[in-house]
Amino acid sequence: MAVPTDYLEKVYAGILGKIIGVYLGRPFEGWSHERIVRELGPIRYYVNERLSKPLVVTDDDISGTFTFVRTLSDFANNAGVTAAQIGETWLNYIIEKRTILWWGGFGNSTEHTAFLRLKEGVPAPQSGSIGLNGKTVAEQIGAQIFIDSWAMVAPGNPRLAFDLAGKAASVSHDGQAVLAAQFLAVMEAQAFVEPDIGALFELGLSFLPSDSLVSHLARDIQAWHAQHPDWTDTRARIDELYGYQKYRGDCHIIPNCAIVLLSLLYGEDDFATALTIANTSGWDTDCNSGNVGCLMGIKNGIKGIDSGPDWRGPVADRLLISSADGSRSITDAVAEAYEIARIGCVLENISPPVLPKNGARFHFEFPGSVQGFEIDRGYWTSASVRLNNVEGQSGLGTRSLAIHFEGVVQEAFVRVATRTFMSLQEAEESHYALMANPTLFPGQSVRASIKADDGNPAVVNCRLYFSFYGVDDSMEVRRGPAIELAPGQGSELAWTLEDLGGAQIAKVGIEVTAQEEVSGTLYLDYLDWRGVPNTKFRRPEGSGQMWLRAWVNAVDDAGTRWPEAFHLSHNLGLGMLIMGGSAWRDYSVTSIITPRVARSFGLAVRVRGLRRCYAFLLTSNRKACIVRRLGETVVLGEVDFPWEFERPYGITLEVSGAQITGRVEGKEIVRITDTSELLSSGGFAFVCEEGLITSNSITIKPNLADLS
């Protein structure tokens, strides 16, 4: 079946549904139905504030869903991708005990168990098999919670969704857990073109063995739905015959699959009603609610989500993906929708969607999208402000972000911003830790297009600004050049961000002031930055820690009580401290590194996870080499190079097109040419293999040389 014309927008709605569902259910995950009813009542809206918990959080349901599907782009968008390749993706993006998974222990956490199997060399699907891990471990819920992205790359193609979901699920699960994941994936893929829940049910069941437990469960719920008009009666039957007491393990698939099916059948084709049932029913509420929200979002689109309460406003499109590719951790539903839809189109051999407004990072082209922009309430102001997405007022597209303000004067400015790095709250250790790089750096140039409404009564002043973690991680502000906007006037703002002494940028946005008290509206058409920064990373003044949290930490210890800024120790294998942007292509990195003791050490470039990069290393056999890591490590060039412990070495690694050059103290040591398209861009990293290295700084510069 042809890809539907509204495919991109439905992917966006599916992602919104997923994250709304997860955020809605996360604060009371694991509660029983009885406790929810007693303490919270029917869940009809977010309850995080009642439980003193944040709304937008790091969660395995979201991180796994939008990380594991990268297997497709990492392996040339081949629909025939294997379970073993998906397992390799796990090893590339998961930092042990730090990202994506619930690290609940071998034999207890299904995903932790599977990861350890993969790490010891057991390939998927054996890594998740009943034969190796036992039935209880293999039939928990994880395969179902990660499955939505595999369906969204297969719009109207349930067979492809079934096949991809089966391979993805088998990395960590087996048996009924894989069947439940495939059942849901088939329904979600077909929901792009089929509006009837009953038809989706029957199609999903047609892919399953009729004697499977998942099939029996689904048929029972269908029958009870026909008998009982009240969903709580059917939920009671589910609890009686398929409840938690029937199955071992922390979070078995069968009871939770039942809640997903219950919510879809009784949801009255309404997004809000389906989420109420999924969350009030209890058990694994964020997982079940996320799956239900995704399917309903795909099926009914943005209008279906917007037909009830304001689900989207508090979320503001934001999601957090904790993985070894920290450049994609601070993201939003719009960015992820374009990536999912790009993969889906390539799989169908059609042209993928092009980012609007000349590829701007923030473009607001989906109805209602704000892409993380919020009122910056970290600053005192007596003015009032609200944001909404509106049609028109765009020079390059069809929509813009409206900034409505009242009572603005110079002493009462308005600031609206989007996050470029994690907040202090998000940096705190939690059940699911957040690994993330900033997305904006000193040395980059920010540009934005903004216009004043025709009806504004007076001139207003506008400028770009950013907030950063200053001394002791206090929030400080730098402001760009101001422009005046008369009613109806538009202009582009441009600003190259200055050096911050190693501090990291937290937010970027627009500031509005006026000479006299004024109310009105401004329209932000787009905001963008791109390219490699020209900057030095080092420890800033004060005792703050956010400068170090800005690195994706895949070493055993990054010490902070030593004189050197970077004191990196790794016990076994290759450790990395990673920084950068996934789109960075041609640049050089330079650092003076002292090997205190190490099997090998150096720098890496075009880093996209733990097992995808180029590295320039000085090795224990007194060699200097450039290696390519794509799962396996291949030496591309090597020369003799005697080096000593406790001696500093000025190391530079430069990448320019297919040419990679390693230098020591400015002298070229190794140069190679490699045409692998799978390593065309990415960030950079310190590398330490089984040892300790120290350094005070590392500098990145864009490579402007002739690439011919």
| C-alpha atoms less than 13 angstroms from C-alpha of 534 in its C-beta half-sphere | 8
Same domain, 498 and 556: no
Q: Is the dihedral of CA 603, 605, 609, 611 positive or negative?
A: negative
Average pLDDT over residues 45-54: 96
As given in the structure block, the two tokens for residue 447 are 């540009």
Statement to judge: residues 518 and 560 lie in one domain:
no
Those residues with Cβ within 8 angstroms of residue 471's Cβ, 6 or more apart along the chain or in another chain: 540, 541, 542, 544
Average pLDDT over residues 356-381: 90
- Average pLDDT (511-523) is 91
Report d(CA 134, CA 145) in Å as an integer.
20
* CB distance 347 to 77 below 8 Å: yes
Report how far residue 365's alpha carbon sits from residue 343's, in angstroms, rounded to the nearest whole number.
20
CATH code at position 445? 2.60.120.260
Q: What is the pLDDT of residue 669?
A: 98
Q: Is the pLDDT of residue 382 over 90?
A: no
Per-residue pLDDT for 705 more than 60? no
Tell me: do 567 and 644 sit in the same domain.
yes
Q: What is the CA radius of gyration of the chain?
A: 26
Residue range of the domain that includes 614: 551-702
CB neighbourhood size of 313 (10 A): 13
In tens, the pLDDT along 229-280 reads 999 999 999 999 999 999 999 999 999 999 999 999 999 999 999 999 999 9
Whose tokens are 């961000």? That residue is: 497
The CATH code of the domain that includes 660 is 2.60.120.560
How many domains are there within the chain? 3
CA angle 609, 321, 566 (to 5 degrees): 55
- Of 479, 497, 528, the residue that ends a domain is 528
Share of the chain above pLDDT 90, in %: 93
pLDDT for 704:
74
Residue-wise pLDDT for 94-122, tens only, equals 999 999 999 999 999 999 999 999 999 99
Give the pLDDT score at 378.
Answer: 64
pLDDT at 708: 29
Residues of the chain with pLDDT > 70, as a percent, come to 98
Q: Do 60 and 95 share a domain, yes or no? A: yes
342 within a domain of the structure (yes/no): no
Q: Is the same domain home to 449 and 303?
A: no
DSSP string, 554-596: ESSEEESSSSSSEEEEEEEEEEEEEE--TT--SEEEEEEEEEE
Whether residue 315 is found in the same domain as residue 378 = no
Cα 698 from Cα 683, distance rounded (Å): 13
CA distances (Å), 497 to each of 47, 429, 438, 446, 702, in order?
Answer: 39, 30, 14, 8, 15
Q: Looking at the domain assignment, is residue 369 inside a domain? A: no
pTM equals 0.97
For residue 153, being part of any structural domain is answered with yes
Same structural domain, 489 and 576: no
Give 3-state DSSP helix, strand, coil % of the chain, rounded to 5. Answer: 35, 30, 40
The answer to whether residues 131 and 239 belong to one domain is: yes
Asked if residue 357 is part of any domain, the answer here is no
For the stretch 275-314, pLDDT in tens is 999 999 999 999 999 999 999 999 999 999 999 999 999 9
Cβ-proximal residues to 152 (8 Å cutoff; 6+ apart), any chain = 11, 14, 15, 188, 189, 294, 298, 340, 341, 344
Here the tokens at position 224 are 């009870």
- Reported confidence tier of residue 23, pLDDT bands at 50, 70, 90: very high
Q: Which residue has the tokens 């923030």?
A: 362
CB 548 within 8 A of CB 561: no
Domain-ending residue, one of 327, 350, 365? 327
In terms of Cα–Cα distance, which of 179, 122, 119, 125 is closest to 147?
Answer: 179
**Whole-number average pLDDT of the chain:** 96
Give Cβ neighbours of residue 571 (< 8 Å, ≥ 6 apart).
556, 690
Confidence at 706, pLDDT banded by 50, 70, 90: very low
Asked whether residue 352 is domain-assigned, the answer is no
Q: Distances from the Cα of 270 to the Cαs of 293, 496, 652, in angstroms?
A: 10, 47, 57
Q: Please tell me the predicted confidence (pLDDT) of residue 260.
A: 98
Of 528, 561, 583, which marks where a domain is finished?
Answer: 528
Please tell me the distance from the alpha carbon of residue 188 to that of residue 192, in angstroms, as a whole number.
7
Between CA 527 and CA 537, with CA 531 as vertex, the angle to 5 degrees is: 105
Q: Are 513 and 408 in contact, with CB atoms under 8 Å apart?
A: yes
- 126-135, 297-306, 522-531, 674-683: which range is least confident on average? 674-683
pLDDT for the residue numbered 377: 74
Residues 229 and 275 in one domain: yes
Q: Kindly state the helix (H) or strand (E) to which residue 391 belongs, with its residue range.
A: strand 384-391
Confidence category of residue 532, pLDDT binned at 50, 70, 90: very high
Residue range 549-583, pLDDT digits in tens: 999 999 999 988 999 999 999 999 999 999 988 99
The CATH code of the domain that includes 189 is 1.10.4080.10
User: Is position 335 within any domain?
Assistant: no
Q: What is the pLDDT of residue 707?
A: 35
Same domain, 202 and 141: yes
* Length in residues, the chain: 708
- Identify whether residues 382 and 466 lie together within a single domain: yes
Based on the domain organization, do 138 and 51 belong to the same domain?
A: yes
- What is the average pLDDT across 325-353? 97
Q: In this structure, is residue 1 part of a structural domain?
A: no
Neighbours of 314 (CB within 10 A): 16
609 within a domain of the structure (yes/no): yes
